[in-house]
Structure 1
Amino acid sequence: MALPNCSLKVNKELLDTSFESYRLSLDSIPTYNVELDAAVAEVKLKDSQYTLDHVRAFGMYNYLHIDPWYEDSVYFVDSKGRVLNLTVTLDTALGKPCEMFRFESDPSSCEGEQLCASLSLTSATWATLSDGTGKLTLLRTSKRGESSHIKWEPVFSERLGEPFIIVHSLAHMLSNVHTIEVLLLRIQKDPSDTKGSGFSISLEWITVDNSAGQGENEERKYGVRKRRMMKGKTVPHYTAVEPLGKGIIVASEKPFAFTEVDGLPLEEPPAEDMEVENSDPIYFWQQTEEDVTVCVRLPEGTTKDDIRFKLAVDCLRVGVGDHAPLLDGQLFAPVDPEASSWAIKDDKSLEVSLQKRSEGPLWSEVVLGDRRGEYLMSDEQKSQLQQRLSYLTAEDLNPNPEKDKPPCNAQELEDCDMFPEDSSTLMRFDGATLKPTHVVSLGSHQFLFSVNTDPSEMPAFCLRHDVDALLWQPRPHQDNDIWEHISTFNALGKATCKQILMLSVTLKPLNFLLIVILQPEAISFFSLFIPV
């Protein structure tokens, strides 16, 4: 069964085609520094945590948490096992660190595996906390903005197996039952993975509520109501639970699939839905540096009047009569619709000529996520490719060391030297069936970062689109376009993540007022105001 492929629809009104460049401002930025009486609780990777996934998940962890409900507050865990709060007053100064919660025992003294303590600010009055040893704690915080000095009250604490970090959490009320959804990330040894790193990635979706003990005079107690396990091969770029726990969204280089519910394996592994049925290609395509030619097979007896053709700058739709479209979705790169054309050849195929808007870059596919076509390379292109790669296939290890391009030994490459795979996907899973309902092939749309634009909604994520960086907001209540393009970083598609972080404060209509640098013994804050 093929996956339900979808596409990301760009809002052209948010694109600035006349954008030229940024201008450097030399205005000084206010900087504040706070000395700490104990170091930040940093946990360094062990020798056994040697893969790139370990570095992504635990080695690059941000120990400082900005409160999305109260932007003047930040939290961190120190080496004494305390959750500390700093109230940021950008116009004047910073308040002293205030203790909000303290672990019963020092996590650093625990034997066995330990990860960094992780904190997720679940709602305006709740938080979830992991001590890094496998223990999950739910905390009632009151309204943090109004009661910033009231200590947090633990209402649930339980060990949930191997150590994990919290990647997302949210709270909701249904039928007078308070429910908290939490996503936990683990990297575990996988003996069956003999050809890979030897590890597998697990995402566990935990549902905790207070449905137990609902008598008139009986206090409602929180407990784990449901546990769902997903498995994958790479640390996800993005993952979050939908409001009301109706589903989950995951963006990753390799797809995830649900494998267990409450400790029991699924009877029908969802991985079978990942397989695409083998069939003959329904279209063939070629390309040059200037254009792309697509030949689509047509049903017998098709006439010109039967063709349903629609072409935009970044979308193509080809159909026959009232039947389902033969090609429908987002193009790999922008084209010039006015310079493009189509024609019926020999009453058997429809030939579509697409004029590339930018000459040079070669496409890896026509429509993103559509694998039903076959790419035909011309003899000239084959010859050029063989000449460019000849130094890699020479019989001698290094036939000519003086050349600019010495031979490459793939065995010497580490995981971090590899290019990201073109198979990266953005998937939405239904919370009831645990099966994918929407799938987008990201292809060349490199994942850049995620950010909370509105605490009442799911985190937004930023993807590279050609030379721009586009911000997408998940809207799971919309049946069709569940990912909405809400803003654009002009000409930042090729910038490094660090550059994007420093420049993200200029994003309109959204404002990020705080840049933070965390050091072992001190925390520095940089504020930057941009008028809307």
Structure 2
Amino acid sequence: MVKIVELKTNRSLIKTNFDGYKLSLESVPVIKVDLEINQHPYVRKIPVDQYSFLHTELFSLQNFLVQDPWNREHSYFVGGDGSLIYCASYKESTGRPSPLKVVYKFSEQQTPELTRYNFSFKFISEKYCVLCDGFNMLQLFDTSDRYKVTEWKLLSSHKINENFEGFVLKDARLDVFDGKKVINCAFQHIEKCGSKNINQIHWGKLFEKPEQTENVWSWKLEDVLLGSDLIHYCAFEPKSASIVICSNKNITFQSNESKEKEENEKEDSKEKHVETKEDSNEINNNYEWSQSEDDVVISFKDVEYENKNNLKVICTDKTISVLHYDEYLLNKQNLCQQIDPELTTWAIENGSLQITLMKKDCTMWPYLMENDSKVTQDTAQNLEMDNKPTVNLETPLEDCDVAFNSDDEYYIYRINLELKEVTHQVPLGNNPPLFSTVLRPGFPAAIATRTDVDASLWLQHYNPLKPEEWALRHEGNLHAFGYVQASKQQKKYVDCAPDMGYSVISEPFRHVFIYKSKYETANNLRNRNGPQISLGKQSLITLDSNSEVLGMSCGINFITLLSEKCLLFIQLNKLNN
């Protein structure tokens, strides 16, 4: 049974007297480093045949500047027409960037023309890095001492999946079991199924084989997770027994769907031996139906039901069949929305058959089945009420409070990879996560959600001795940032400092907004006849370069921006005053 987990805020992290941000007119130092032509970041534009919203999100929001969590002064990107990996360094001690260094050069066989998506990589330890070439190749590197920025060594290279092309690395995690290293990897792939595109997460493992001198690492694709909408967050938990995914649609395993398909085919073959009346797929109109937010009740009245043994009700998550003797009252009719077939019940009351279906989503249905014009009397009224905004006289709604698609409900799913089922579920309401960021090296990425006007950061709290007690721990708060970011319509990258001392929003062109929760020169302010208030500091940076921002990384006292033609280092030391 899925356990519902509630996000419990730590009241000590919330600043109740915070009264917003004050714009500072102080200049913020920005160091610009122009890139040579062979140093320009390699970015593959979205192809003509990949035109869906999923493709647009995947290509446009990818961060091409990857920061080293173990040494935040170093950030890396792929340049040189997709043939080189560069290291961009900023020394906080001197306040100056170091010259770009090439840490790895790809072979001539791996040309950019072969790539379908862009390069993506992730540092999984102080020594290892996992890279996906955007086509079908997984590569593991020994990065040696990254503090000295030495040349990387390729340890192994494997094809992710022989049957698919085009992958982006979503997460990778290194664990050690019985002295042997195991690397779990999750790759995103967008596959066209009929008239729509779906998200696929290909999950596999890299195994270390220390007894061999060559081909020390072996790759095994374990399974494929399927989702029909955006994947807002994807990270393995410690020890990689489960994977945590945030989406507004259910996540299923491809292997489970194959089993269900085989079972349905067997059931279909059995039903072929049952004689049915002609035109059995037509809807029997001798029924009435009613609904609430939780369930649907179907009643058949014009047929005598003296014995329930002569009745058979078969339900899946989207269809219903009702068999009376050898005649179908309903035969595999497609329902309006999904139901939970395990909770379906039926009974005979006063000579009539009543079937109760439990909805998966607590929404009102405009109709019961496809090609059916029957609508309950209260359905239209309920639908009109659903479209009306909730009235709150104390805190009126503003434009930035309304979600992009208010009909969507977002959830964080904790999925057990061995059992292949969801064990924990965190409801987020109508607002998707704001962003995710790595606060500590070696830990899963923290996820930021909107809590009233604030942005709360949550870390996975995992106890290997009691895995059923999994939860999300409130790690920190960005005061009023949830409200601030909702008002930015042109935002591209959103992040915060590792110590959560500041948050930053970067637009694709020209502007960068920095928000620091403490404004030292604005202390001891009070509202008229009120208590003392606290103000934050907002800094606006206008970039001289007209090229698009392609990546961003945050340190304690600096921000690194990667654009099409230059690197920008924003110095934040003065903001601490």
For the 8 Å contact 1:487–1:507, the answer to whether it is kept is: no
| Equivalent pair of 1:472/1:485 in contact (CA under 8 Å) | yes
Whole-angstrom CA distance in 1 between matches of 2:56 and 2:184: 26
Say if 2:452 is the partner of 1:483: no
Give the match for residue 54 of structure 2: 53
Q: Which ranges of structure 2 fall in alignment gaps of 5 or more residues?
A: 265-289, 296-359, 366-377, 389-402, 495-502, 506-512, 519-553
Q: Is the 8 A contact 2:462 2:469 kept in 1?
A: no
Rounded Cα–Cα distance in structure 1 between residues aligned with 2:454 and 2:438: 20
The aligned residue for residue 449 of structure 2 is 463
Please show how residues 91-490 of structure 1 align to structure 2 within 5 Å: 91-105=94-108, 107-111=110-114, 114-145=116-147, 147-148=148-149, 150-161=150-161, 162-191=165-194, 194=195, 198-211=196-209, 214=211, 218=213, 221-260=216-255, 267=259, 419=405, 421-477=407-463, 479-480=468-469, 482-490=471-479
User: Separation in 1 of the partners of 2:193 and 2:382?
Assistant: 43
Match of 1:527 in 2: 571
Deviation at 1:220, TM superposition (A): 6.5
In the aligned structure 1, how far is the partner of 2:383 from the partner of 2:248?
Answer: 30
What is the root-mean-square deviation in Å for CA atoms of aligned residues?
A: 3.7
- Tell whether the 8 Å contact from 1:84 to 1:100 is kept in structure 2 after alignment: yes
1:47-101 Cα deviation digits (max 9, x unpaired):
2121111111122211111111101101000033101112211333111111111
CA distance in 2, matches of 1:488, 1:522: 33
Once residues 371 and 383 of structure 1 are traced to their aligned partners in structure 2, the CA distance between those partners, rounded to angstroms, is: 12
Residue by residue over 1:287-345, the C-alpha shift from the partner in whole angstroms, topping out at 9 and shown as x without a partner, is xxxxxxxxxxxxxxxxxxxxxxxxxxxxxxxxxxxxxxxxxxxxxxxxxxxxxxxxxxx
Tell me how far apart the structure 1 counterparts of residues 130 and 137 of structure 2 sit (CA, whole Å): 11
Partners in 2 of 1:200 and 1:453 — Cα distance?
A: 30
Residues 227 and 21 (structure 1), Cα distance of their counterparts in 2 relative to 1, 3 Å cut: same
User: What is the Cα deviation at residue 118 of structure 1?
Assistant: 1.0
In the alignment, is residue 65 of structure 1 matched against residue 61 of structure 2? no
Could you list the runs of 4 or more consecutive aligned residues of structure 1 that deviate by over 4 angstroms after TM superposition? 106-109, 279-284, 369-374, 381-386
In the comparison of the two structures, how many residue pairs are matched?
395
Can you list the C-alpha shifts for 1:202-260, whole angstroms capped at 9, x where unaligned?
0111210113x626xx4561011442210001121000011221110000121211213
| Corresponding residue SS for 2:59 | helix
Quick one: distance in 2 between partners of 1:54 and 1:460?
24
5+ residue gaps, structure 1, are 273-278, 285-368, 390-416
Deviation for aligned residue 1:501: 2.5
What is residue 335 of structure 1 aligned with on the other side? none
How many Å apart are 1:280 and its aligned residue? 9.3
1:263-308 CA distance string (max 9 Å, x none): xx66368xx9xxxxxx997999xxxxxxxxxxxxxxxxxxxxxxxx
2:342 is matched with none
How far apart, CA to CA, are the structure 2 residues paired with 1:220 and 1:45?
35
Higher strand share: 2
Residue identity matched to 1:267: K
Task: Classify the secondary structure of the residue corresponding to 2:201.
Answer: strand
Task: Kindly indicate whether residue 35 of structure 2 is the aligned counterpart of residue 36 of structure 1.
Answer: yes
Report how far residue 185 of structure 1 moved.
Answer: 0.6
Is the radius of gyration larger for structure 1 or structure 2? 2
- Is the counterpart of residue 494 in structure 1 residue 480 in structure 2? no
Provide TM-score, normalisation by structure 1: 0.66
| Superposed displacement of residue 127, structure 1 | 0.4
Q: TM-score, normalised by structure 2?
A: 0.62
Distance change in 2, residues 1:445/1:59 (3 Å): closer
Q: Read off the aligned partner of 1:96 and give its amino acid letter.
A: P
Q: Distance in 1 between matches of 2:35 and 2:174?
A: 32
8 Å CA contact 1:505, 1:513 repeated in 2: no
